[in-house]
A and B are shown apart, each in its own frame.
Chain A
Amino acid sequence: QVQLQESGPGLVKPSQTLSLTCTVSGASISSGSYYWNWIRQPAGKGLEWIGHIYVRGSSIYNPSLKSRVTISVDTSKNIFSLALSSVTAADTAVYYCARVRLNVYYGSAKTDAFDIWGQGTMVTVSS
């Protein structure tokens, strides 16, 4: 059974860097069959995709956050990580890691929906 688990500080000071890790169990992060994602949700609000990483390619980020985001992977530990710099109160949210499958449609590989999610971790930006 595949499971994802977020971890990291629950409180970050303004202007600092938010750093979170997602530990993947039950599947190899090195598999070419998945993309590994970060998504966030401010309290009482909707979902915002932050970006993803593919171990056989590069990372892609939401343009609204691109200048501040880095997603990296450590295949030896089967984890991927999020770094969000220069945070403000607007970055306060529940942060989720999630998996996207690669499926073959019409003869081509295509990313699919978020099929496995972590439980989420609350991060508050405050001094």
Chain B
Amino acid sequence: DIQMTQSPSTLSASVGDRVTITCRASQSISTWLAWYQQKPGKAPKLLIYKASSLESGVPSRFSGSGSGTEFTLTISSLQPDDFATYYCQQYNSYSWTFGQGTKVEIK
């Protein structure tokens, strides 16, 4: 299986901060990568697919970049609603796998 490693595991930030989360794949996955946001007690929500495509309805402050083995999710100006856990996921090859998650906390 392709291993997905996110960093950091926890991130403390303030409203208005620019936030970047990194996801590394154990082998090349081209751009077959998605990012999800999950809040406590809720299902994950798709933010970004194919590494950099913004899902319909998702605010433009979210953006994704990268290819191959290194990817980033950026929140340009953190909003109160953005405090949550973020997961990356590869769908280049089976078995589809997720990163361990990055929790974005209030500083």
The smallest C-beta distance from A99 to any residue of chain B, in angstroms, reads: 10
Identify the closest chain B residue to A60 (Cβ): B94
Cα–Cα, bound, A114→B42 (Å) = 15
B window 30-60: CB within 8 A of A: 32, 34, 36, 42-46, 49-50, 55
Q: Which residues of B contact A16 (CB under 8 A)?
A: none
Q: Are A47 and B98 in contact (CB under 8 A)?
A: yes
Quick check: is B100 within 8 A (CB to CB) of the other chain? yes
Question: Chain A contacts of B101 at CB under 8 A?
Answer: 46
CB distance from A100 to the nearest CB of B (A): 8
Q: How large is the interface on A (under 10, 10 to 19, 20 to 34, 35 or more residues)?
A: 20 to 34
Chain B residues within 8 Å of A114, by CB: 34, 36, 44, 46, 89
Cβ-defined contact, B49 with A113, below 8 A: yes
Q: Known: A46-B87, A112-B49. Is A64-B100 also a contact (CB below 8 A)?
A: no
Chain A residues whose CB sits within 8 angstroms of the CB of B42 once the complex forms: 119
* Interface set, chain B 68-107, CB cutoff 8 A to A: 87, 89, 91, 94-101
Nearest to B31 among chain A residues (CB) is A105
Give the Cβ gap from A6 to chain B, nearest Cβ, in Å.
10
User: What is the 8 Å Cβ interface bit string for chain A, positions 83-101, against chain B (1 contact, 0 not)?
Assistant: 0000000000000101010
With A112-B91, A114-B36 as given contacts, are A48 and B98 in contact (CB-CB < 8 Å)? yes
User: A111: which B residues are within 8 A, CB to CB?
Assistant: 91
| Pick from B32, B34, B43, B100: contact of A46, CB under 8 Å | B100
A-B contacts, 10 of them at CB < 8 A, read A46-B100, A47-B89, A48-B98, A49-B97, A112-B50, A113-B91, A114-B34, A114-B44, A115-B49, A117-B43
Which residues of A pack against B, CB within 8 Å? 46-49, 60, 62-64, 96, 98, 100, 105, 110-115, 117-120
